[in-house]
Structure 1
Amino acid sequence: MSKVFFGGSRNIGRINPAIRTRLRNLITNKHTVLIGDANGVDKAVQSFFAEEGYRDVVVYCMDSVCRNNVGNWQIKSIDSGGKKKDFAYYAMKDAQLSLDADYGFMIWDGESKGTLNNVLNLVHQGKSALVYRSPSREFIQVKTTDDVVSLVASCPAELVDYLNKKIKFEKRVAASHQVVLSF
């Protein structure tokens, strides 16, 4: 079955019934769950799968140290090469998650740079992501950089500026369009 990369905002600690329904569908269809070890969405989704007794879960951790592994599942350790624990450090883990997954399921608070970075990584690899946009309580299918731009279109200008500084959002979108146009 498919491998699904779960990710999301650290400030979302609960998952609502609509998300739980989608997660149960993944269990029914026997998908492999690939998930990080952060607090917030990672821990909440881990807790759901542990409560359900689902075993086909792999938790990605940095340097063999898991912050959260609620179900005591198999881990995949990403070697940091001794880098300091900052955004780039944890983004290494997320980059590997996106490479190993067939598609993504992101729970986004409308602000998290890490979650949006994961969506961009998946799209740049030709993979899609289902994004639950928490502020509007809607599921959005994201397949292209244009879809990512639409996802961010309703965000305040200050947030877009922040995303440009932290994950080079507009440069990455523009670079993606240039690649597409160069064929």
Structure 2
Amino acid sequence: MKKVFISGSINIKNLHKAVIDELDSFIKRNCFIIIGDAYGIDQLVQKYLLSKKYYNVLICTIYEYPRIIESNEFDYEKIKYDLEEKSEKKKQSYKDKHMTEISDISLVIWDGKSTGSYRNIIDAIERNKEVKVFLDNKFMKLIDINVKAITNIFYERHEYSLTEYLSEVVKKDKNCTIKSTKQMKEILKDRGVLTGNGVIDNKFIDSVTIDFIRGNRVYKYKKKLLDNYFSSYVNKNSIENLSLF
């Protein structure tokens, strides 16, 4: 019986028909399905399996009880992690690594920019698992699923707020001369990326997404854009390796 770890980006709201067909194939083959306990893909897949009355399922969590478990018929397992670890993302990464390790097949439903999904793909490739990646409304060709190609996609699409980018750069380069997001905004204004009022210039609108958090506008910038404008302030290796692992 094949064990299938299914993961994906939290901001995906619906299962594509091609993904549903793949899930039906797993069900037909009586595969053992391993899923996490987050919103997004985890919950969507759980709900679909429940709708098919398919219970050969394991939900993995770092908590005493899963945050999301759509059926009491699903089994669940608490995954151990380093108790001294404070970062929620790093705690969750122990769970993801465990699910990859115990699976035969890794199916990742990706938006091309989610860090967690990116790491799951790379981890599965490096462990020589069978890897299926659903991206841009289709499954990637097997020949295109390799570390270099996946990393290039991530590099082109991944986005950061200025706070996130500064935090990651400083972690990797203690000699970074950028000390605040205010300084970063001034640099972007000088380069014409932002207007004097701090609004993104229309020429760069395709390089950002805009969120509104508690009524405030927050820009998420493509990594490639930020690397281009801040590379002279940090060590080159720091931005090349930024947030990949």
Mapped to 2, the partners of 1:69 and 1:163 lie a distance apart of 38
Q: Distance in 1 between the 2:49 and 2:25 partners? A: 12
Q: Which has the larger radius of gyration?
A: 2
1:77 aligns with 2:81: no
Corresponding residue for residue 97 of structure 2: 95
Task: Tell me the secondary structure at the aligned position of residue 132 of structure 1.
Answer: strand
Offset at 1:152?
Answer: 4.0
Report what 2:241 is aligned to.
Answer: 164
Match 1:111 to one of 103, 109, 113: 113
Query: Structure 1 residue 5: deviation in Å?
Result: 0.4
2:7 and 2:87 mapped to 1: Cα distance? 19
**Post-superposition shift, 1:138?**
1.5
Change (3 A) 1:76 1:149: same
- Cα displacement string for residues 92-112 of structure 1 (whole angstroms, at most 9, x for unaligned residues): 000000000001000001100
CA distance in 1 between counterparts of 2:46 and 2:97 reads 19
Task: Summarize the Cα distance change of 1:149–1:81 in structure 2 as closer, same or farther, 3 Å threshold.
Answer: closer
Q: Match of 1:31?
A: 31
Which residue pairs with 1:64 in the alignment? 64
Ranges in structure 2 where 5+ consecutive residues have no aligned partner: 158-221, 228-238
TM value normalised by structure 1: 0.81
**Matched AA of 2:137:** R
Give 3-state SS (helix, strand or coil) of 1:131's partner.
strand
2:82·2:91 contact (CA, 8 Å) conserved in 1? no
Residue 10 of structure 1 aligns with which residue? Answer: 10
Deviations 1:99-128 (A, max 9, x none): 000010000011001001001111111112
Matched, 1:128 2:127: no
Query: C-alpha separation between the residues in 2 aligned to 1:100 and 1:152?
Result: 24
Query: Following the alignment from structure 2 to structure 1, what is the Cα–Cα distance between the partners of residues 240 and 115?
Result: 6
C-alpha separation in 2, matches of 1:164 and 1:39:
28
What is the CA RMSD across the aligned residues, in angstroms?
2.2
CA distance in 1, matches of 2:75, 2:86: 25
After TM superposition, the score normalised by the length of structure 2 is 0.62
Q: How much has 1:71 moved relative to structure 2? A: 1.9
Deviation at 1:156, TM superposition (A): 2.0
Contact 2:125 2:146 in 1 (8 A): no
* Aligned residues of 1:128 and 1:141 also touching (Cα < 8 A): no
Check the 8 A contact 2:109/2:133 in 1, yes or no.
yes
Where does the alignment leave 5 or more consecutive residues of structure 1 unmatched? Answer: 169-183
Q: For the residues of structure 1 that align with 2:3 and 2:141, how far apart are their CA atoms?
A: 17
Contact 2:32-2:56 within 8 A present in 1 as well: yes
Q: Secondary structure at the match of 1:6?
A: strand
In structure 2, what is the Cα distance between the partners aligned to 1:61 and 1:142? Answer: 30
Write the letter of the residue equivalent to 2:92: Y
1:141, CA displacement in angstroms?
4.6
Which is bigger in relative contact order (C-alpha 8 A, separation at least 6)?
1
Please name the residue that 2:44 is paired with.
44
Distance 2:113 2:38 in 1: 17
- Do 2:18 and 2:138's aligned partners in 1 also have CA atoms closer than 8 Å? no
Other-structure match for 1:172: none
